[in-house]
Every structure is written in C-alpha cells, then in structure tokens.
Amino acid sequence: MTKVNKWTLGLAAVGLVSLPAAVQAQSTTEKPNQLLTALSSTTISGYVDTSVHWNPGSGNANPAAISFNGPNKQDGFNLNVVNVVLEKPLDESTWSAGYKADLIYGPNAVGFNNSVGSAASDLSIKQAYVALRAPVGNGLDLKLGTWDTIIGYEVFNAGSNPNYTRSWGYTIEPTQHTGLLASYQVNKVVGLSAGVANTWNSGVNTRAAGSESQKTWMGAVTLTAPDSMGFLAGSALYLGIVDGQNTLVGNDATSFYAGATLATPIKGVKLGASFDYAETDDNGAGTVASASSYAAALYASISATEKLSFHFRGEYAKFNSAYATGGILNTGVGSVGGIPEEVLSFTGTIQYDLWANVLSRLEVRWDHAADGRPFGGSVSGTGIPGGADENDAVIVAANLIYKF
C-alpha cells in the first residue's frame, strides 16, 4: 500500500499538489481523514500589489489622499501590500457555518487594524471572523470577530476600487471593527445590516474608555433596482451610519454615508456618487475640540473593450479641523500635518488587462488647495511646520496587481 503523509493529503485537498492514481483509488475505500475533510472546503486567494510613483516637483509633500500614498512612496518603486485569504464561505444549507482569515503584509499593513501593542508591525489581520447562518426568514448571516466597516464607496483593497489612489472620503471613514455584524436580505431589492462593535476606529480587541457598556453601533440599508427597471437594473443606493468612541483621541465619532451606482443606457458606461459626513464631539479634556468634515465624489467608468477601461473621479472635501490634534477631523486617520481645509481633486485612470490575472493601471491625480492653505505648508499662527508650500499636488502612478 502506498503511504502518503497527512501534510501531502492536506495540500492535495486544496489543490496545491496531485496524488498518484493509486493513492486516489485507495482514498475512496479508506475512512476519510479528518484533516482532509476540513481543508477540502477551504479556499486560498489573495493578491500582490505593487506600484511606481512620480511626484513632479521637488520637495513635494503631496499627501494624495494621505492613505497609502504619502511621501514615503513618492518618486520610486513600491511594494504596497501582499494579501492572503483563507476562507470557508457559507453554503446554501440551513445551518451554514464558515470562517475567513484575511491577512495583509507589507507597508500598507503598518498600523492597519493591528492588535493592541503591535502598531509598528508590517503584518496585520485585516479580517478574521466566524461566519454563521441562522434559519430566520430568508436566512440571517452573522459575523463574529474583526471585519470591514459597512460604509464607504472605496475599500482597502486597491484592486476592488475604480481608481488606484483612495478618495478623501475614504480618509474620514472608519475601516475595520471588532464585534458582531448581522446581515439580512429581505428580497432582491432590500438588504439590511446592523452591528455592534468595540470602537468606531480599527484595532483588534481595542476597548472604549469609560463605561463597560460603551460600544459602537451601526446600521445600513441597500436598495437595488430590479430587472423590471430596464437599463437601471442593478443600480444601487446605499445608506449607512456608524456611531461610537474613537479611542485614538478619546472622543465620540459619528459617520454618515450615502452612495449610489447608476447603470446607464450606454453599454459599458456606469456612474457613481458618494457623500461622507463625519463629526466628533469635544472629548471633555480640553485637548480635542468638536469638529465636522465632509467629502463628496462623482465617479464614471467606461469599458471600451473586454480588456480596456477608463475610470474618472472628481471630489470636493472640506476639513473643518484639518490642523487639530489627531489628524483630519480629529479621527487620527491619516494624520499628516499641513492638509488644506478645502480640497478639489481629480483622478483619471486607464486600465488595460494585458496579462492573465494581472490588473494593470496608469493613473494621474491632481489635488488643489481650494482655500489657499498649501499642502505641507505653514499657516500663520498655527505652529504647523513649513513644507512644500504648494497649492497643487500631482501624482503619476503605475499600479500592477496580481490576483491569485
């Protein structure tokens, strides 16, 4: 009898190696191995995200939307992040169960949803949760662990966004939560989600200060146009709210989000829009004042051929407390000195998928300080250090992502 160790059987279960025909025949007559049975339903996926940045001009302090695209990446070649996902998705059974372990490595992972005491690590757990389905109505889906926030037009994974660089709206949103999330699809048109988490901001197992009952609450509704609406079929409207304590600066934060995608009668053309509004309360210690900020964006995507597409984004953002302690909006998100209070931004992206499994893009982005306060510059009487003192910030970027 041919002997095969359990590690080899496990690799074969996920399709990484092949077993000899004789061994395959034996496996049908022998008692199933518990390890083999468990791994056979697990999928492995992910991506490698790389880029090249050019910031025209010298000493450019271009934040170009702060997150992931700051000065440490300008004028050079970059490894952005490596993503590996192990997942057993929910199936169609009544009492379905699964899990997801979404791991990220590299510069974009530094400080992103890290557990307490590991903010400097370039390894992070983006998501990790147990998924359950209960037989309530059409099926109630539950996630317990750490998971992506329920609001926002754009996400962490660059390849899932229409553009490479992130929007200003993304910078004032929460990103991850640790808690319990429930989702329910009422019908083909209406979808609901609600959750409770430890904090408004990310951080695995981070706790809110004060009362043990201090938690973050959230809810969202999605409306999808049915097939009976003709060319509008598949268009969607999304509304959401997240309210809770931001432990980065110790005050309460509330985020409101509205987003929409719109199908058009023109083949290959899709439009989108998003609006983010966020506010924070005085933390009571006199170190963080009340503030509010908002960002509005319009999107357009055109698929010219099966491989070639064009993506555009125009955005206006106003940060009422851009220079305050803790970063934009006092949230601590993308804290960078010298951000104008008003920004106009335009982004154009060409995507051409020449290689199999590779997303390849060329992008040009222009940000303009609409209030006259320069990017990276000093502001009289604020104590903010000087920098590039530029009212316009430009970034030219090439982005290659291999998905597996």
Which pLDDT tens digit goes with each residue over 276-322? 999 887 656 555 567 788 999 999 999 999 999 999 999 999 887 54
pLDDT value at residue 61:
53
At position 150, the amino acid (one-letter code) is I
Residue 380 has pLDDT above 70, yes or no: no
pLDDT value at residue 66:
53
What average pLDDT does range 177-194 have in this prediction? 97
pLDDT value at residue 97:
95
Non-local (6+) Cβ contacts of 397 within 8 A are 51, 52, 53, 54, 69, 164, 165, 362, 363, 365
pLDDT value at residue 70:
67
Task: Give this prediction's pTM.
Answer: 0.83
The full 3-state SS of the chain, as one line of letters, equals CCCCCHHHHHHHHCCCCCCCHHHHHHHCCCCCCHHHHHHCCCEEEEEEEEEEEECCCCCCCCCCCCCCCCHHHCCEEEEEEEEEEEEECCCCCCCCEEEEEEEEECHHHCCCCCECCCCCCCEEEEEEEEEEEECCCCCEEEEEEEEECCCCCCCCCHHHCCCCCCCHHHHCCCCEEEEEEEEEECCCCEEEEEEEECCCCCCECCCCCCCCCCCEEEEEEEEECCHHHHHHCCCEEEEEEEEEEECCCCEEEEEEEEEEEEECCCCCEEEEEEEEEEEECCCCCCCCCCEEEEEEEEEEEEECCCCEEEEEEEEEEEECCCCCCCCECCCCECCCCCCCCEEEEEEEEEEECCCCCEEEEEEEEEEEECCCCCECCCCCCCCCCCCCCECEEEEEEEEEEEEC
Residue 33 has pLDDT above 80, yes or no: no
What average pLDDT does range 226-247 have in this prediction? 94
- Percentage of residues in the chain having pLDDT higher than 90: 56
Residue 55 has pLDDT above 90, yes or no: no
Q: What is the pLDDT of residues 330-342, one digit of tens each?
A: 343 333 445 677 8
